[in-house]
Structure 1
Amino acid sequence: MNTRFPFADWFRNSSPYINAHRGRTFVILIEGDALSSSRRAQLIQDLALLHTLGVRLVVVFGVRPQVKDALDAAGIEAERHKGRWVVTREILGHLEQQVATLRLRLEASLSLGLPNTPLHGVELTAISGNLVMAKPLGVRDGIDFLHGGEVRRVRSEAIQGLLSQQAIVVLPPLGFSSTGEVFDLDAAEVAEHAAIALAADKLILLGEGEGLLGDDGELLRQLNPDEAAALAPPREDDSELSRHLAAACGAARHGVGRTHLLSWRDRDALLGELFTRDGIGTMITRQGYEQLRKARLEDVGGLLALLGPLEQRGILVARSRERLEHEIDDYVVLARDGMIIGCAALHVSRDAQMGELACVAVHDDYRRGQRGEQLLTDIELRARRAGLTRLYALTTHTVHWFIEHGFVSAVLEDLPPMRREAYNSARKSKVLLKTL
């Protein structure tokens, strides 16, 4: 049925993400090109919207184009080595000036109350400070980088305190030493270290490109760090993509759940990535230590160990080893250091364009971290690829969880004929349905 207001359906579909992001910590890198473009006002508005929706924001900004313009105007040509400037005292002066100017403009923009926008009247508090400690790069390959530095540590407790006061924390690409020196830092490195130190839920890197492209030129939607690193250009080429990929892979390997590569040139990229099912750019998620993948026959023992306690408590229907082995291709699992800590299954009904979401389970010790949501997202993706238009689920204990994730109450007659005939009336399972 057509709607008079298409945005209403979008808003309904985005509500699970609004709920999921509330109270989460996002570190967002905005490169200097974006802040000197006409897109700055829109980006500020999007940041304000995220803040009003309860997202805890840390904004890192870059100044490379601004500093280059200032050096060109002063007739200064900076020496470069492996993508980094050799920062003399003169260059540091220009760098400090550009950082201060852009930081003040950014904080001023966040303090305007956003007039003439849908967020007029919203009061935002933006705070910066000596929140990133640095150390000198020193002499490398015979080159003294002088005031060029790298992150020593991020003052995570201080930042957490500011975030708890509903402030937006702004981090420039500068760091401070314990001896009072100032060092030039790579903004992407600052964002990576901040995300790791804060155990951020997301690291979002806004650059020129829309993400990582495959050999066929198509955008790659989801990769693990090893897959992404294998496709990355050499770090020495100093490209923005190289720096962003290094930061994204490093953060993912150190526990940041999801990292995103997006283009600031796309006005819908930030909100589209966060509040739609398929997203806009490239997402890099952790792998190895904890991995979401298709189940294999050798996982059956782990599945039995995971499902056994839930079956004993009557939460799940008992499944034999033989049944699991027969249906193993229907399952996806979350494996953590060799242990199966979560699973879900998609059983496709041959007599209808719908599938059953079954056996959603997460180990008691790993209930935190939105692992159930990860499993659901993967099953939905597999269902859409199979051409299914709806998912259904039967449950006795977790009705509210399914409703919170877009399912609605249904009746037995809504099930495919074969599944309806196999319904166990003794369990009195609730029937739930979701349109994909």
Structure 2
Amino acid sequence: MSESIHPENFIRGFRESSPYIHRFRGKTFVIVFGGEVVADGSIMSIASDIALLRSLGIGVVLVSGADPQIDERLKNAGITFSRTWAGPVVSREAVPDILRAVGEVRFSVEAALSRGVTDSPMSGAEVRVASGNLVISRPLGVIDGVDHHFYGTPRHIRVESVRRFLDDGMVVLLPPLGVSLSGDMFLLSPEDVAQETAIALSATKVLFLVDEPILKELPQGNGREFSDRDVALLLSGRSAMRASWKILLERASKMIGAGVERVHFVDRHRDGALLLELFTQDGCGILVSSDPFEEIRPASPSDVPGILDLIRPLETKGILVDRTREAVETDISRYAVTHRDGKIVACAALYPYPDERKGELACLAVHPEYRKAGRATHLLSWFEKKALSQGLDRLFVLSTQSREWFVERGFMLSGVDELPLERKKSYSPIRKSHILIKKLDPKGSGSV
């Protein structure tokens, strides 16, 4: 083991990754990258990560680009290569150099995946690569009066052949080329190939290895996860994002709508980015999914262990009242949790007193690693709406250490006399909890 990795950190990280290892076994991932990873040599480390994915029982389809190699060969040959908004205009004389450039990338990727040097990450991997005429294409044709000649678009993917290769344990490599039924070869957009392949295979994930960190071009406050609804709203509004990113997000939304579970954008310059994105709780890239990566939902009995893990440290510090497992199980219908990719990161409970139209917000807790990101505020808002839906018009809390936080959110200090009669009976003067109450606004969920 490397001296730079502390054994305890390694064990902790390995354990954190285990749910994902089980979840991803037998799934299919489509990974998209440009010819830049071959040009700068980063394909070597990426290949090691791909080999690891394959060893974990994940089906891997690679879709490669070759823009730098194509541009260089055409420049050396003195061939002009114009582009329109729809794609490059590929003349017949450019085709031989394009085929050589794409072949260069293909063989470099295959060579990187075939390494087996002792003491290297690829030692013993024995990755087998399948490629060939798996993408049937057609010419793009004339767009806005411009004939794109030998630039095309995928017509269909030979899905059964791809699946047979994957079932046989092979990595499938799809270059940005397609053959037509007439026997012609067409240059394709790797993004087009990836999109059609992922949809045809019903892939679980599509991962784009990209140059620019997309997070910097997205509106602040959205975090790193977006639902397809978020993307639709983002694209419908005015945004300073460059056109290339808008196109990628549109592709992601289309793939999600066609059944792909998640689309990721990962910085290709970061070593191990694929593994960090796939096997850690928070990843390192941008995620687009059909369902929110993080959501607030009513708790279920299976959430009890996660709730207890969350509140125990706060009970030890005296911030929350001690609750037994039986008490949480009995009251589980009163709880809601913030669920983040299989992990409970926040919780709270609502105890209604309908006769007095009041409700108690209790057991509000957020995991230490996920604080200062508005999760407690979102939970509070969720429960305010729930209280209103139950006909309550006031929400109260008992707090020993969070008085200011509640005051900032519309609560006012109050006294024991404001508590419902039944709650007065169980109020403990020994804890000296602050009593705060908020009048709810039926038109919003804020204070009046």
TM-score band w.r.t. shorter chain: 0.5 to 0.7
Q: CA deviation at 1:331?
A: 5.1
Identity, in percent, stands at 31
Given that residues 44 and 109 in structure 1 are in contact (C-alpha distance below 8 angstroms), is that contact kept between their aligned partners in structure 2?
yes
Q: Does 1:170 align with 2:170?
A: no
For 1:4-403, list aligned pairs within 5 A: 4-213=7-216, 220-231=223-234, 240-286=244-290, 294=296, 330=298, 350-351=320-321, 377=341, 380-382=344-346, 386-388=365-367
Q: Is the 8 A contact 1:214 1:220 kept in 2?
A: no
How large is the RMSD of aligned CA atoms in angstroms?
A: 3.6
- Taking structure 2 as the reference length, the TM-score comes to 0.65
Question: What do the CA deviations read for 1:11-41 (whole angstroms, capped 9, x no partner)?
Answer: 1111111111111110000111122113111
| Higher Rg of the two aligned structures | 2
CA–CA distance in structure 1, aligned partners of residues 324 and 287 of structure 2 = 28
Contact 1:211–1:282, Cα closer than 8 Å, also in 2: yes
1:211 deviates by 3.3
- Aligned partners of 1:105, 1:80: CA distance in 2, in Å? 27
Distance 2:102 2:281 in 1: 36
Stretch of structure 1 that moved more, 246-255 or 106-115: 106-115
Deviation at 1:379, TM superposition (A): 5.4
Q: Which amino acid aligns with 2:63?
A: V
The code of the aligned residue for 2:265 comes to L
Q: Distance in 1 between matches of 2:245 and 2:91?
A: 26
Residues 352 and 58 of structure 1, relative CA distance in 2, 3 Å threshold:
farther
Distance 1:156 1:94, change over 3 A: same
Q: Secondary structure at the match of 1:380?
A: strand
Q: Quickly say closer, same or farther: Cα 1:114–1:192, change in 2 above 3 A.
A: farther
TM-score by length of 1: 0.67
- Larger mean Cα displacement after TM superposition, 72-81 or 40-49: 72-81
Instruction: State the shift of 1:176 in Å.
Output: 1.0
Q: Given residue 276 of structure 1, which amino acid in structure 2 is its aligned partner?
A: T
- Quote how far apart the aligned CAs of 1:121 are: 2.1
Report the Cα distance in structure 1 between the residues aligned to 2:332 and 2:67, rounded to whole angstroms: 50
Counterpart residue number, 1:324 = none
Q: What do the CA deviations read for 1:258-307 (whole angstroms, capped 9, x no partner)?
A: 110111101131100111011111111125xx998545xxxxxxxxxxxx
The amino acid across from 2:248 in the alignment is H
Question: Counterpart of 2:74 in 1: which secondary structure?
Answer: helix
Question: 2:28 & 2:216 partners in 1: Cα distance?
Answer: 27
Q: SS at 2:344's partner residue?
A: helix
CA contact (8 A) 1:219 1:281 kept: no
Measure, in 2, the Cα distance between the counterparts of 1:111 and 1:269: 21
Q: 1:268/1:124 Cα in 2 relative to 1: closer, same or farther (>3 Å)?
A: closer
Instruction: Tell me which moved more, 182-191 or 375-384.
Output: 375-384
For 2:276 and 2:293, how far apart are their aligned partners in 1?
Answer: 25
SS at match of 2:260: coil
Distance in 2 between the 1:50 and 1:246 partners? 27
Distance, in Å, in 2 between the alignment partners of 1:55 and 1:168 is: 10
Which AA in structure 2 matches 1:388?
H
Question: Counterparts of 2:242 and 2:140 in 1: how far apart (Å)?
Answer: 16
Deviations 1:322-358 (A, max 9, x none): xxxxxxxx459xxxxxxxxxx9798786426999699
How many angstroms apart in 2 are the aligned matches of 1:163 and 1:269? 23
Instruction: Point out where structure 1 has 5 or more consecutive residues left out of the alignment.
Output: 296-329, 333-342, 361-373, 391-436
User: How far apart, CA to CA, are the structure 2 residues paired with 1:280 and 1:32?
Assistant: 22
Distance 1:354 1:29 in 2: 49
Q: Does the 8 Å CA contact 1:201/1:257 hold for their aligned counterparts?
A: yes
Tell me, in whole angstroms, the C-alpha distance in 1 between the residues paired with 2:367 and 2:345: 10
Partners in 1 of 2:61 and 2:217 — Cα distance? 30
Deviation at 1:382, TM superposition (A): 3.8
- Equivalent pairs counted in the alignment come to 330
Q: 1:141 to 1:15 in 2, by over 3 A?
A: same
Residue 162 of structure 1 aligns to a residue whose secondary structure is helix
Cα distance in 2 for partners of 1:271, 1:67 equals 30
Q: Distance in 2 between matches of 1:253 and 1:354?
A: 43
Give the letter for the 1:377 counterpart: D
Which stretches in structure 2 are left out of the alignment for 5+ residues? 1-5, 312-319, 349-363, 370-448
